[in-house]
Structure 1
Amino acid sequence: MQVIPVLDLLDGHVVRAVRGERNAYRPIQSRLTAASEPLAIARALLDASGARTLYIADLGAILRRGAHLATLAELRTALPAVELWLDAGFTDYASMRTLLAQLDAPAAHSNLAPLVPVFGTESLHDIEAVRAAQTAGLAPILSLDQRAGQPLAAAGLDRSPALWPSRVIAMTLDQVGSYAGPDLASVERIRAQAPARTIVIGAGGIRDRDDLAAAASSGASAWLVASALHDLQIDCTHRASA
């Protein structure tokens, strides 16, 4: 099971996400580090998880308060070997391309790992955006968002497995930061719907290594984790990295 650490950005801070109640998010207090800067926290999460992938939720962009462009650019250049997955509330292909163009590295940094766009169904309005990103060779990820058991999918992508890319996230916002356990039922449902080679990634609720084992048994290939890393509830140092 691959653990993918999550960095949530809001109003210039790294925040602790709890149950998707974004107006109540507060700046992170982490047992991993006393530092508060996004880059320092990102490095601490990567060290704790052994990951070479970092999921970034730019909540400022998702909530239409403005993307954290300077922070994103700093993370991009300071972590050249880390694959960054970016959810910035993309509504369509054009909005995604506009933001990624602003984060394109200069030629001197052409060795940077990929910047991968994540299309969250709560924000996405154009059902063709994911296909356009695939055609452009961007290897997009689709986040199938839900809250209170209801899909958040204006474009209807949750009901269109044939349009899904090779990687999808089962994003149950109610479970994020909840310590309520992972939503295995949603992973199993999506796994059953998805084409055979689709990689399904879970999100939220992880409390300990037993939860990670259960998540792996549900058909998930990876899981997005933040709180359990910050609170030292899981130890990934002996885990074989994916």
Structure 2
Amino acid sequence: MQVIPVIDIRNGVVVRAVAGQRSEYKPLETPLAPTGAPLDVAHGLASLHPFRTLYIADLDAIEGRSDNYAHIIRVATAFPHARLWVDVGITRFADADRWLALRNIDVVIGSESLKEAAELRAIRDNSRFALSLDFSAQAFLGEAEILHNAGLWPANIIVMTLARVGAGQGPDLSRLNEILPRAKGKNVYAAGGVRGVEDLIALEKAGVAGALIATALHDGRLTRKELGQFHAE
């Protein structure tokens, strides 16, 4: 099972998630990096394990402010052999062009940002896109067709339970078990709530392809040995 570290950026620094309440996110302090600069944090994560994929969320772009393009490009340049999954609040397919021009960046389309479900028809067969199905504690965030029409989904699906991000409540297995049968062979990734190796074992048994993780890596609850055990990429 793949483990994908998450880097959330706001105002040029990496922040620590707090139960999906983005207004409460504070600059990250981690033993893995000397500063909260995105490139420093990326190097720190690489010192823990040779991850082949990183997930970067540009919170400024997602929330409709300026973006952190320069910081993301620095990470992409420093790790040319890694894939970067980048969520920059894409609202329509055409907005992805400047990111697709960078060979090691793939674009995450968040359901909370996408204007129309029909936009997914242009990307569902494109391996450089992933769809994030975004949920609050109870509700789906986005147009209902995005959730209900699995025929629109690309090969990689992220099930993002924002209320569990950084909350230490464990992954949302109930929701994942609803999505997995409908994904019909697509890769489903869990985002939010992973506390340690026991949660990874549960996700693997459920048939999840991978997990997006931040807090457990910075807090030392997932060790180098455990990451190797799960063949983290």
TM-score, normalised to structure 2, is: 0.93
C-alpha deviation, 1:15, in angstroms = 0.3
CA offsets 1:116-135 (integer angstroms, 9 cap, x no match): 11000000112233331345
Aligned-residue offset at 1:154: 2.3
Correspondence for 2:58 = 58
State yes or no: 1:204 paired with 2:192.
yes
AA partner of residue 9 (structure 1): I
The correspondence for 1:126, drawn from 116, 121, 125, is 116
Distance 1:71 1:219 in 2: 34
Which structure 1 segments of 5+ residues have no match?
A: 106-111
* 2:175 counterpart (161, 182, 186): 186
Match of 2:139 in 1: 150
CA–CA distance in structure 1, aligned partners of residues 151 and 124 of structure 2: 13
Match of 1:172 in 2: 161
Residues 48-68 of structure 1: CA deviation (Å, up to 9, x unaligned):
243100000010100011110
Distance change in 2, residues 1:176/1:49 (3 Å): farther
SS of 1:179's partner is coil
Q: Give the whole-Å Cα distance in 2 for the aligned partners of 1:218 and 1:49.
A: 24
Q: Report if the CA contact (8 A) 1:142-1:167 is conserved.
A: yes
Q: 1:145 & 1:63 partners in 2: Cα distance?
A: 14
Correspondence 1:43 to 2:31: no
Equivalent residue, structure 2, for 1:9: 9
Shift of 1:72: 1.3
TM-score relative to the length of structure 1: 0.89
Deviations 1:21-47 (A, max 9, x none): 111111001122223221110121233
Equivalence for 1:217: 205
157 and 15 in structure 1: CA distance in 2 versus 1, 3 angstrom threshold: same
Number of residue equivalences: 230
Q: Is the 8 A contact 2:127 2:155 kept in 1?
A: no
Letter in 1 for 2:5: P
**Aligned with 1:31: secondary structure?**
coil
Q: Deviations over 1:119-157 (max 9, x none)?
A: 00000112233331345x452100000002210012621
8 Å CA contact 2:8–2:59 kept in 1: the answer is yes
The amino acid of 2:208's aligned partner reads A
Tell me the CA shift for residue 236 of structure 1.
3.7
Residue 139 of structure 1: aligned partner: 128
The equivalent residue for 2:216 is 228
CA distance in 2: counterparts of 1:156 and 1:19, whole angstroms: 26
Matching residue of 1:241: 232
Give the Cα–Cα distance (whole angstroms) in 1 for the partners of residues 208 and 31 of structure 2: 27
Q: State how far apart, in whole Å, the 2-side matches of 1:162 and 1:47 are.
A: 39
Give the CA deviation at 1:7: 0.4
Unmatched 5+ stretches in structure 2: none
Q: Does 1:159 align with 2:158?
A: no
SS of aligned partner of 1:193: helix
Instruction: Find the aligned partners of 2:220 and 2:22 in 1 and give their Cα distance.
Output: 23
